[in-house]
């Protein structure tokens, strides 16, 4: 499973990244969590407001800092 946190590095983006990593650990699953911080790459995914969360290339949340539990529900 590939989890992407889309954002340019703002505090909200960093919080979402930490929450995504915590969710993966809590779920005990094999997943790669990566940061996408290039504006062009973010826009290619159709995201105009960050932070955003994508799982396996599908955007699941935009403009919201999800808690670890909210991220885990998407997993």
Q: Are 33 and 24 in contact, with CB atoms under 8 Å apart?
A: yes
Is 10 among the residues known to form the active site? yes
Q: How far are the Cα atoms of 25, 53, 58 from residue 37, in angstroms, in the given order? A: 23, 12, 17
Which one of the listed residues 3, 5, 6, 13 is annotated catalytic? Answer: 13
Which one of the listed residues 1, 8, 10, 43 is annotated catalytic? Answer: 10
Distance CA 31, CA 49 (A): 24
Could you give the residue numbers annotated as active site?
10, 13
């Amino acid at each position: 499973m590939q989890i992407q946190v889309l954002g340019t590095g703002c505090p909200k983006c960093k919080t979402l990244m930490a929450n995504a990593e915590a969710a993966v650990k809590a779920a005990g699953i094999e997943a790669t969590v990566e940061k996408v911080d290039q504006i062009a790459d973010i826009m290619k995914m159709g995201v105009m407001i960050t932070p955003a969360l994508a799982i396996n290339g599908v955007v699941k949340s935009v403009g919201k800092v999800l808690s670890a539990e909210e991220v885990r529900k998407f997993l």
